[in-house]
Amino acid sequence: MGPLDFSKFKTVKYKYISFFKIQKIVKKIQALEKLNPKFQNFTDLINTEKKLKKIIGADNVKLKEFKQKFDSCGISFDFEDCTAGNGCGNCIPCRNNAEKISFREKILKALDYENNGKASLRKVYSRLGLKTCYVCNAQYALNAVPENRPAKGTVAVQDRYKAKFQFDHYLPKAKYPALSISLFNLFPICSPCNSIKGERDLGIDFLSSDPNDWDDKFTFKILEKSLTAFLLNQKAMKIDFIDKTTYIGMESLAKRFDIKGIYNNQIDLIEELIIRKLKYSDTYKGKLTQSFPNLFHKTSIDERIELGTYSQNEGIHKRPMSKFIHDIDQQLTDHFQKELLKIGN
């Protein structure tokens, strides 16, 4: 929903790489390479310690370069159509596909994202301050997941649940198995969005951290008429979601994830924001400071309370609903300024 601050990923990059037993992985890849000479062009890209470290730590720019290298190495994990049309398992495309799937699974197993990769990522992730789902921004990317561990002092396995970050492979691991452990390819996602996204491409360049690429890609707005009706008669407001991304041959993000549906149910947040914007005049804020001299001394917290979330720069990925609140705060500021100008004239 907004640009990811990749400079944060850079701060944990080396720590993250250090958790991998690279020598062991290389040995596994080299063994696979001997058994599968057909896939040499692919394994050539990941068969040394140096190459693997580069892939694990590839930043958003390098990751795009790697994507291209894998796209053009002649071994794609896009699958061919069965000639019989029913996945017969015997025709040439079906047999090619089976071979590719089996090779892909072996690569994924050798890289071991499921155990070591995920565990390593969780060790560094809390330091990034990225906590919300990168797709919907409506929820935290934390989910309680079962942990089957022996209870202390016994051998009996106990079912316990622990809140853990959930991640999405932005470049899907089914298509880019070698990028399954790349730090900059792993974004926080909530469970519902993850189940909708699956292995699909979002059709949005989330690897771009250039704010200019993000300007107004998505914008929340209150329908102007409904804002007036709310201000005059406290009638329910309706929100609009403007999605300016171009999706080639695919459904828009707004439609696929029913963004409007999610946010129209959170309109109470905006009612509160309007009330704060109207009530927190400079005089009122001055009075609060006088009444609570030790409580209201941090400007950043004051601003946060007035806005209802963190500021524009840090908020979006730190607290759910921040993109929504920021956009509408901007709309309201513009709206009230216009009203003031009208009165002035």
Least distance in angstroms from the C-beta of 214 to Zn ion: 18
Burial (Cβ within 10 Å: 0-12, 13-18, ≥19) of residue 65: exposed
Instruction: Rank residues 88 and 250 by Cβ distance to Zn ion and give the closer one.
Output: 88
Instruction: Rank residues 134 and 230 by Cβ distance to Zn ion and give the closer one.
Output: 134
Least distance in angstroms from the C-beta of 1 to Zn ion: 9
Instruction: Rank residues 86 and 154 by Cβ distance to Zn ion and give the closer one.
Output: 86
Least distance in angstroms from the C-beta of 188 to Zn ion: 9
Least Cα distance to 136 among 68, 195, 63 occurs for 195
Least distance in angstroms from the C-beta of 317 to Zn ion: 12
Least distance in angstroms from the C-beta of 143 to Zn ion: 11
Least distance in angstroms from the C-beta of 88 to Zn ion: 4
Burial (Cβ within 10 Å: 0-12, 13-18, ≥19) of residue 299: exposed
Instruction: Rank residues 74 and 87 by Cβ distance to Zn ion and give the closer one.
Output: 87
Least distance in angstroms from the C-beta of 96 to Zn ion: 10
Instruction: Rank residues 128 and 133 by Cβ distance to Zn ion and give the closer one.
Output: 133
- At 176 the three-state DSSP class reads coil
**DSSP code string of 217-276:** SEEEEE-HHHHHHHHHH-PPP-EEEEE----TTS--HHHHTTHHHHHHTTHHHHHHHHHH
Least distance in angstroms from the C-beta of 140 to Zn ion: 9
Instruction: Rank residues 63 and 135 by Cβ distance to Zn ion and give the closer one.
Output: 135
Cα distances from 157 to residues 18, 87, 146, in angstroms, run 30, 41, 12
321: left (phi over 0), alpha (psi -120 to 50) or beta: left
Amino acid identity at 15: K
Instruction: Rank residues 55 and 259 by Cβ distance to Zn ion and give the closer one.
Output: 259
Can you give the binding site for Zn ion, defined by CB under 5 A?
82, 84, 88, 91, 94, 133, 135-136, 190, 193
Contact partners, residue 40, CB within 8 Å, separation at least 6: 33
**CA separation for the pair 293, 302 (Å, rounded):** 12
Beta bridge partners of 218: 243
Instruction: Rank residues 84 and 236 by Cβ distance to Zn ion and give the closer one.
Output: 84
End-to-end Cα distance, the chain: 39
Least Cα distance to 1 among 129, 159, 164, 133 occurs for 133
